[in-house]
């Protein structure tokens, strides 16, 4: 059978282990669609409703599968909508190949201000949010283009790339030489460099001399697959482990040395105190972002830091690193374990963590077990109890990440997917689609707020079209919670455009061929939520919650009073 450019591309992507591509078609990208059709069932296309959502789905697919995520869009107007999703993948180091098209390459004058249909310089638009950009010059260069894109996406610090295929070479017959896929690109990371033995020994000496060491793990630890090595080192040296939101669960959160998430969003009192009290910090794939360091207040004065990262540019960024180990996290930790001769009794540290965790749980018990109202904390605590050990929780940005970080435990095959690279609303539902495509036999739960879900309502239809077992849990308080909190804290409670129309998302779901469930009564919350999670196929669970919990992210009593008074006035007005 004769092959065109789309056949070559689809075949190579399937060889690299890609089983699903997410996108929205245009006439210029149809060669890819026919290529995927010819390669079935090795690879399939999932039709999304918006190109932004296609990038979010590809991002989540890559996180869950451990491979490369792929999305596609048509020329110009389609490809430029990749920006938000690629920014998330770029900042979170997720390997994604974004595929766009282009009109005729020789349309010189027509390129000026859209004289030719859909002509936009997509490569330049997407350059700030991608590692690499390239344009297919000839159909016979397709194997080289796809392999280089995969190599760039997965090498070093992973990230998204953008490849542009003008419509003529995309559909032309391939007449080039035989080609094979580089199978090294199907196993990430493709290379596992390690630092020198002298550098590792220096780090060991510092760890062995530490009185109160702590480990900080980030998304890079997940990407490296270093869970086993981190657990072994923590147990060997009795080191408590705190995680960023993207590193959540690298050390299973039911482990006695787990501190949970650290940071102003999704963190807890236990991790904050023990990180601040540490004398030595071992940071693994942890980029010391604003949120996870409480506004860059960690490391504190006097704390020593050992840092393991694949990206040399991370060393000494924001602050000076005492010992920098440039290398793959898994391989570097194994080297450290091999050269480590000492061990410590973990029992005293585990006991301290247990006592502090119990105090934090008691502090939150009234809001978690409230019987007169439905709180986000109660919803997520119930999800933690009711969801199986193989559940993937895909969260939207904003407070959804915070509630999941604090009240949903990751262990076993459980995972959380949280958008912290760019923090864009609308990530949750398409991420759930990407996760379900990557692990179709697992349960996927989306945790979103009404503000986030409003960005991507149409993707509910995809759940039905693809028959995905995804449950969308909506924390519906009819406000933009983060903005309301910020206005209360920073603008003396002068609220503008934050109270939104109350939407019946269960009814919307039914209109898009999904099951819709409404929960309004706190007394029936557990029973109805459990029943909804056990339903077959996709469902949207719309839960009316109180808005006053937005103030839980501030200690300012005036801000709390502003939000509580606003909620009181709204209830009075509706009555």
State pLDDT tens for residues 214-229. 999 999 999 999 999 9
- CA–CA separation, 56 and 54 (whole Å): 5
- pLDDT value of residue 315: 93
pLDDT for the residue 112:
59
Q: What is the mean pLDDT of residues 119-136?
A: 90
Question: What are the extents of the domains in the chain?
Answer: 5-186, 197-351, 369-574
Q: Give percent of the chain with pLDDT exceeding 70.
A: 92
Give the residue with greater pLDDT, 105 vs 85: 85
Query: Which residues lie closer than 8 Å to 314 by C-beta, 6 or more apart?
Result: 287, 307
pLDDT at 457: 94
Confidence band for 573, pLDDT divided at 50, 70 and 90: low
Q: At residue 322, does pLDDT exceed 60?
A: yes
Query: In percent, how much of the chain has pLDDT > 90?
Result: 75
Is it true that domain 197-351 has CATH number 3.40.50.1220?
A: yes
What pTM value is reported for the model? Answer: 0.93
Select the highest-mean-pLDDT range: 100-104, 336-340, 498-502. 336-340
Domain 369-574 class, CATH top level = alpha beta
Whose tokens are 């008691």? That residue is 362
Say how far apart CA 235 and CA 252 lie, in whole Å.
12
Q: Report pLDDT for 517.
A: 97
Taking only the tens place, the pLDDT of each residue in 497-542 is: 777 778 999 999 999 999 999 999 999 999 999 999 999 999 999 9
Inform me whether the pLDDT recorded for 477 exceeds 90: no
Please name the residue ranges forming H helices in 40-141: 51-65, 83-92, 122-126
* Dihedral sign, Cα of residue 548, residue 552, residue 556, residue 557: positive
Residue 69 DSSP symbol: E
pLDDT tops 80 at residue 88:
yes
CATH superfamily of 5-186: Thiamin diphosphate (ThDP)-binding fold, Pyr/PP domains (3.40.50.970)
Helix (H, G, I), strand (E, B) or coil at 426: coil
Instruction: Give CA separation, 341 vs 202, 234, 345, 350, 459, in Å.
Output: 13, 14, 14, 22, 54
77 confidence band (pLDDT: 50, 70, 90): confident
> Which band of pLDDT confidence, cut at 50, 70 and 90, is reported for residue 301?
very high
Same fold, 197-351 and 369-574: yes
CA gap 83, 130 in Å, rounded: 9
Tens-digit pLDDT profile for residues 172-198: 999 999 998 887 777 778 789 999 999
Please state, rounded to an integer, the average pLDDT across all residues of the chain. Answer: 91
């Amino acid at each position: 059978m004769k092959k065109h450019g789309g056949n070559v591309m689809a075949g190579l992507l399937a060889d690299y282990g890609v089983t699903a591509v997410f996108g929205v078609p245009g006439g210029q990208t149809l060669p890819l669609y026919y290529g995927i059709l010819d390669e079935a069932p090795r690879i399939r296309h999932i039709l999304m409703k918006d190109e932004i959502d296609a990038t979010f789905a590809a991002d989540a697919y890559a996180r869950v599968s451990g491979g490369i995520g792929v999305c596609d869009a048509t020329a110009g107007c389609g490809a430029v909508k990749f920006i938000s999703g690629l920014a998330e993948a770029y900042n979170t180091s997720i390997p994604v190949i974004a595929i766009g098209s282009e009109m005729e390459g020789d349309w010189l004058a027509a390129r000026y201000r859209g004289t030719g249909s859909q002509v936009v310089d997509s490569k330049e638009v997407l350059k700030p949010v991608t590692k690499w950009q390239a344009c297919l010059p000839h159909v016979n260069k397709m194997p080289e283009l796809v392999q280089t894109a995969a190599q760039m996406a997965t090498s070093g610090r992973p990230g998204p790339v953008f490849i542009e295929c003008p419509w003529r070479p995309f559909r032309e017959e391939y007449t080039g030489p035989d080609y094979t896929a580089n199978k090294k690109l199907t196993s990430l990371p493709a290379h596992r460099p390690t630092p020198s033995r002298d550098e590792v020994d220096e780090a060991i000496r510092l760890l062995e001399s530490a009185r109160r060491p702590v480990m900080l793990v980030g998304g890079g630890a997940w990407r490296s697959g270093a869970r086993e090595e981190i657990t072994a080192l923590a147990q060997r040296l009795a080191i408590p482990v705190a995680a960023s939101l993207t590193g959540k669960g690298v050390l299973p959160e039911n482990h006695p040395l787990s501190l949970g998430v650290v940071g102003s969003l999704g963190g807890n009192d236990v991790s904050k105190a023990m990180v601040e009290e540490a004398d030595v910090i071992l940071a693994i794939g942890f980029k010391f972002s604003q949120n996870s360091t409480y506004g860059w207040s960690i490391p504190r004065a006097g704390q020593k830091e050992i840092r393991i990262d694949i990206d040399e540019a991370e060393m000494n960024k924001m602050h000076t690193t005492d010992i920098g180990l440039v290398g793959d996290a898994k391989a570097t930790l194994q080297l450290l374990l091999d050269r480590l001769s000492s061990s410590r009794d973990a029992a005293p540290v585990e006991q301290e963590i247990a006592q502090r965790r119990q105090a934090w749980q008691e502090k939150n018990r009234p809001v978690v077990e409230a019987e007169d109202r439905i709180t986000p904390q109660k919803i997520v605590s119930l999800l933690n109890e009711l969801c199986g050990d193989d559940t993937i929780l895909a969260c939207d940005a904003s407070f959804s990440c915070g509630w999941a970080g604090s009240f949903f435990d990751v262990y076993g095959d459980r995972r959380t997917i949280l958008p912290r690279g760019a923090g864009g609303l609308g990530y949750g539902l398409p991420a759930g689609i990407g996760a379900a495509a990557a692990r179709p036999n697992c349960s996927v739960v989306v945790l979103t707020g009404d503000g986030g879900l409003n960005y991507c309502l149409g993707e509910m239809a995809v759940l039905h079209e693809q028959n995905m077992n995804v449950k969308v849990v909506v924390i519906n308080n009819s406000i933009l919670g983060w903005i309301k909190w910020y206005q209360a804290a920073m603008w003396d409670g002068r609220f503008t455009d934050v109270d939104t129309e109350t939407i019946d998302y269960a009814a919307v779901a039914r209109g898009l061929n999904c099951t819709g469930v409404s929960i309004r009564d706190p007394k029936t919350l557990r029973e109805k939520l459990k029943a909804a999670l056990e339903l077959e196929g996709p469902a949207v669970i719309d839960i009316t919650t109180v808005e006053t919990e937005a103030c839980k992210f501030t200690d300012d009593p005036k801000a709390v009073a502003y939000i509580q008074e606003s909620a009181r006035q709204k209830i009075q007005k509706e009555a």
